[in-house]
Structure 1
Amino acid sequence: MAAATRGPRAMRAAAALLAAAAAVAAVGGTASAVLPLLRDGRRRAYVWSPIDEMSDEWLGFDANKWRDTNPRWFGRAPSVFKAENVRVRRGKLQLKSRRDIRYEYPPNPPGMPVEPRVYGNWTTSFVESRNLATYGFFQTKAKPGDGVISSSFWASWNTPTDWTEIDVFELGGGAPGGPGPGFPFIMFMNMHVFRRTGTNFTPSTVLSQPGNYVYSEPLANNYHVYGLDWDESSIVWYFNGRPVRSTENVYHQQALAFKFDSETMPNWFGLPEPTWRSATFKINYIRAWSREEVDTAGRAHRSVPRTVPATGEAAISPYALQRAPMPNSPEVAGLAEPVPRGGWSSLPKNGVRAVGRTLSYFGPVVV
């Protein structure tokens, strides 16, 4: 009896392996085999075309698509980006943040005293696309690190004439305090204009348009699907296939690089405890599509631009901010007290005060 059933079982196992192999081959590191997760009915109105240059299933790290550190920015002090913290394991992109007291941190910016050191104690991670995209639907399945250090998915590009940014999410997976139920429950979304041809915005007069979505449990508990639908007229943010924020697109027509990173946010999420060791931001995939509208007769209209190589980039000082400033952060209003270990709610009302000095070297610098 055992010998008689071994053949069919082997055949079923082989069929399962072939099906799995076909599924992997169909995805093949691109979005070609799948459509966006959408639960508002909008998918039926479009013809979707994958943008392979901006998509990855993380079967390995493709250095032709991504860079694993930022050549134009050390990172948000006191942490710095470290390429060795970026790895692909078990089909996931993993961005590690860690206490790293032996790392050779950069010196203080020119014009500052040698001590105390601005950078130190923590190394973080950064991944950036080597192509720029103008419009499209961008979706990622991710799980933030369960720590004070941020986990973010965002898009920006900085040139002498234009610098805009769209934050799909910024998460403080294990940060103490925060509004409402607290930082671990909140998906922060934002739009920034630092400089834009034809406007009066400059890095010293930044336009920021924040928004947030509060989930029912800490976001670091599970993987969730986050999306951005961006075209010339509107920008829509998605969480698990449902729109959670939408706005008119007035200024964001610039081609942008898409990025995942972790940063210390001393004046927002606070700094880790001295005993804290590490946390890992995990990304299951990133998928991107351009789309064409379809009328009732089934005819497609308006082809959306796809991607261009990231060429002609400005030379940026590694001490520049290179990232949207946080509310009441040193980049905006002078150095404020870091968030206390227990969050702002742990302090008496008279225990919060601003420190009256500025850190001009944090400003964006185009050279």
Structure 2
Amino acid sequence: MTLMYRRWAATAASAAAAAAVVVVGAATAAAPAGAQVLPVLRDGRLNLFDWTLLPDVSDEWRTLDLNKWRNLNPRWLGRAPSVFKASNSRVRNRRLRLISRRDRRFIYPDNPPSMPAEPRVYANWTTAFVESRSLVQYGYFQVRAQPGTGVISSSFWMSWNTPTDWTEIDVFEMSGGAAGGPGPGFPFGIFMNMHVFRRTGTDFTPATTLSQPGNYFHRAKLSARFHTYACDWDSEAIIWLFNGRPIREMPNVYHQQALAVKVDSETMPNWFGLPPPSWRFHIFYINYLRVWSRTPKGATGRAGGGRGAGGATVTAPVGANAPAAISPYALQRAPMPGSVEVAGLGEPVPRSGWAFFSGGGPVSRSITYIGPVAV
């Protein structure tokens, strides 16, 4: 817990005692009539704020509403060698299911003109993608999810790509089946990141990307059960939470752009690896996706001042359906293993410093690093 969170927890102690009865992020029970659904937040701040659920970027997944969500990315085919497939995103039993599969019958797209005909870039696997049709600037973003058990990723993130601005916040990228990786291994790791690919007033470009990754390791495999994952993003800071408790905090220097909310699965050849020939499919389950605006108790308008007072409140979601809002950058492709593009890149995650795990089980630990990352 950060010092900032300790201050908030102390301030909230008396407020918590007088709090009204609420339903906190439960996916297995319906909220009583008139009850307000609130975030899972166990640091004492819950009762310091008024919370407003934003329906344009939230869903309980009774169905996949294509007026609210896209099930394909109009700007991106998928991370090679996999391709996003619309029918791999579906709702069943009030859960969003993002399916990744070996898909021999799928007609894979041709390589882009800049790529040689062989080896084929897109092949073998189809994955799933869901993106909000509205953009939102700031908020408290939360899912209750269970990542897939294979090496293909399960991710919850926000981004938007325009000719002048392209930023991204990764709430998590996880791999339930990749045996390697840093520390106790990928199945235990929550991988968080902040990217700046383009930003008005800066020199960042896709060739000089700013990446600020951080990792948290749980005591058990994350794919074994549902957990709650969240991100508190405002004008001053970005905080990541796991089961309602903060696991990382970073100052917000560049991430003021309105972003789309996304969940997806991708092949990560240079990070998690590719599925073996025997692999067939896995499912990334999401019970709900909820986004709130928050305002300090008793405030009459937009919050100001420091984070202790709440920082800037969320802006109302804005539509992103018009062609002008769709970025012209149609292809964002991951470099393939052994390609010239990744020659000389260091490991994206440090693998040293974990010798004390020998003979014992993995323990929860957060580390932060800044290093080269193949995006």
The CA deviation string for residues 242-289 of structure 1, in whole angstroms up to 9 with x for no partner, is 000011100000000010000000100000000100000000000111
The CA deviation string for residues 66-110 of structure 1, in whole angstroms up to 9 with x for no partner, is 011111111011000000111100010000000011110001110
CA contact (8 A) 1:135 1:306 kept: no
- Among the aligned pairs, what percent are the same residue? 59
CA contact (8 A) 1:73 1:316 kept: no
Q: 1:163 to 1:148 in 2, by over 3 A?
A: same
| Residue 275 of structure 1 pairs with residue 278 of structure 2 | yes
1:318 alignment counterpart: 330
Aligned partner letter, 2:325? E
Partners of 2:341 and 2:326 in 1: CA distance: 22
Larger Rg: 1
Q: 1:225 to 1:332 in 2, by over 3 A?
A: farther
1:220 alignment counterpart: 223
| Residue 121 of structure 1 pairs with residue 133 of structure 2 | no
Aligned partner letter, 1:316? P
1:254 alignment counterpart: 257
2:342 alignment counterpart: 333
Counterparts in 2 of 1:168-187, with a 5 A limit?
Answer: 168-187=171-190
Given candidates 210, 230, 233, the residue that maps to 1:230 is 233
Q: 1:230 to 1:256 in 2, by over 3 A?
A: same
Counterparts in 2 of 1:1-367, with a 5 A limit?
Answer: 23=30, 33-294=36-297, 301-302=302-303, 303-310=313-320, 311=322, 312-321=324-333, 333-334=342-343
Deviation at 1:114, TM superposition (A): 1.9
Deviation at 1:335, TM superposition (A): 9.2
CA contact (8 A) 1:329 1:336 kept: no
Structure 2 gap segments, 5+ residues each: 1-28, 304-312, 348-373
Partners of 1:72 and 1:82 in 2: CA distance: 14
Partners of 1:92 and 1:165 in 2: CA distance: 25
Point out the more displaced range, 307-316 or 64-73. Answer: 307-316
Q: 1:59 to 1:335 in 2, by over 3 A?
A: farther
Q: Secondary structure at the match of 1:44?
A: helix
Structure 1 gap segments, 5+ residues each: 1-21, 339-362
CA contact (8 A) 1:57 1:284 kept: yes
Q: What CA RMSD, in Å, does the superposition of the two structures yield over aligned residues?
A: 2.7
Q: 1:166 to 1:83 in 2, by over 3 A?
A: same
Partners of 1:299 and 1:57 in 2: CA distance: 30
1:358 alignment counterpart: none
Q: Secondary structure at the match of 2:325?
A: coil
Q: Secondary structure at the match of 1:72?
A: coil
Partners of 1:112 and 1:326 in 2: CA distance: 11
Q: 1:315 to 1:253 in 2, by over 3 A?
A: closer
2:363 alignment counterpart: none
Q: Secondary structure at the match of 1:106?
A: coil
Deviation at 1:294, TM superposition (A): 2.7
TM normalised by structure 2 equals: 0.77
Deviating 4+ runs (over 6 angstroms): 325-329, 335-338
Deviation at 1:164, TM superposition (A): 0.2
Q: Secondary structure at the match of 1:204?
A: helix
CA contact (8 A) 2:161 2:327 kept: no
Partners of 1:241 and 1:127 in 2: CA distance: 24
Partners of 1:208 and 1:284 in 2: CA distance: 29
Deviation at 1:112, TM superposition (A): 2.7
Aligned partner letter, 2:197? F
Partners of 2:250 and 2:337 in 1: CA distance: 24
Deviation at 1:330, TM superposition (A): 5.8
Deviation at 1:299, TM superposition (A): 5.8
1:12 alignment counterpart: none
Partners of 1:249 and 1:327 in 2: CA distance: 32
Partners of 1:160 and 1:279 in 2: CA distance: 35
Partners of 1:331 and 1:53 in 2: CA distance: 42
The CA deviation string for residues 122-178 of structure 1, in whole angstroms up to 9 with x for no partner, is 000000000000001010000000001000000000001100000000001111211
Q: How many residues align?
A: 311
Partners of 1:186 and 1:67 in 2: CA distance: 28
Partners of 2:108 and 2:151 in 1: CA distance: 20
Partners of 1:154 and 1:330 in 2: CA distance: 27
Partners of 2:99 and 2:220 in 1: CA distance: 23
